[in-house]
């Protein structure tokens, strides 16, 4: 009896190109090509970096807000950073499900994030400046999420589309709520 030749599925898939998201070594066949998985994981790494930077900034402002809006903002910031903390894990786990390592250091997040830190300003920022920075941060997150949402949708990656849609709804709402405080 002749041995059957192993089938090669690689000819039907895009080549898996290296990305900023490090790949695992196990073969993955979830119906999304390696190239698409790499592109989506790379985009999600940027989204994760934005989410972590925004989480850290929100938590920082929770600790350091002062002034007549203290109680309302202290509570609002706590609600937001608590929800954001849970979402970080969901984003990182989606990157892992696609077969790539999630970034996880301050250095990586600083390189990947579109949201820039403003170190040393905490003690000098008025509450409205904190709110404005968080509006800008939530809007930046939305822009990053929309970029990878298009790639995920094109690749038929419904779990990533669902995750990103949920995150967009949340961050658009946060931006709206915070923006309303400035009107």
DSSP codes of every residue in 58-112: HHHHHHH--STTHHHHHHHHHHHHHHHHHHHHHHHHHHHHTTBPPP-SHHHHHHH
C-alpha to C-alpha distance for 139 and 134, rounded to whole angstroms: 8
How confident is the model over 19-41, as a mean pLDDT?
A: 81
Higher pLDDT, 17 or 67: 67
pLDDT-derived band at 20, boundaries 50, 70, 90: low
pLDDT of 21: 58
Q: What is the per-residue pLDDT across 131-167, written as a single tens digit (0 to 9) for each?
A: 999 999 999 999 999 999 999 999 999 999 999 999 9
| Residue 27 confidence (pLDDT) | 86
| pLDDT, greater one: 52 or 16 | 52
Q: Give percent above pLDDT 90 in the chain.
A: 79
The tens digit of pLDDT for each residue in 66-113 reads 999 999 999 999 999 999 999 999 999 999 999 999 999 999 999 999
pLDDT given at position 124: 75
Beta bridge partners, 100, equal 23
pTM (two decimals): 0.84
């Amino acid at each position: 009896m002749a041995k059957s030749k192993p089938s090669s599925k690689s000819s039907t898939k895009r080549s898996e190109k290296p990305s900023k998201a490090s790949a695992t070594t196990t073969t993955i066949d979830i119906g999304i090509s390696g190239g698409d998985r790499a592109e989506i994981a790379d985009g999600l790494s940027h989204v994760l970096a934005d989410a972590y930077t925004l989480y850290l900034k929100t938590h920082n402002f929770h600790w350091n807000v002062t002034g007549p809006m203290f109680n309302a903002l202290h509570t609002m910031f706590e609600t937001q950073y608590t929800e954001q903390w849970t979402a970080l894990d969901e984003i990182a786990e989606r990157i892992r499900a696609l077969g790539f390592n999630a970034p996880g250091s301050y250095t990586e997040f600083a390189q990947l994030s579109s949201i820039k830190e403003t170190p040393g300003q905490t003690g000098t920022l008025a509450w409205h400046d904190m709110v404005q920075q968080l509006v800008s941060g939530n809007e930046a997150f939305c822009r990053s999420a929309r970029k990878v949402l298009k790639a995920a949708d094109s690749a038929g990656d419904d779990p990533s589309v669902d995750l990103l849609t949920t995150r967009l709804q949340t961050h658009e709402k946060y931006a709206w709520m915070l923006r309303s405080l400035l009107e």
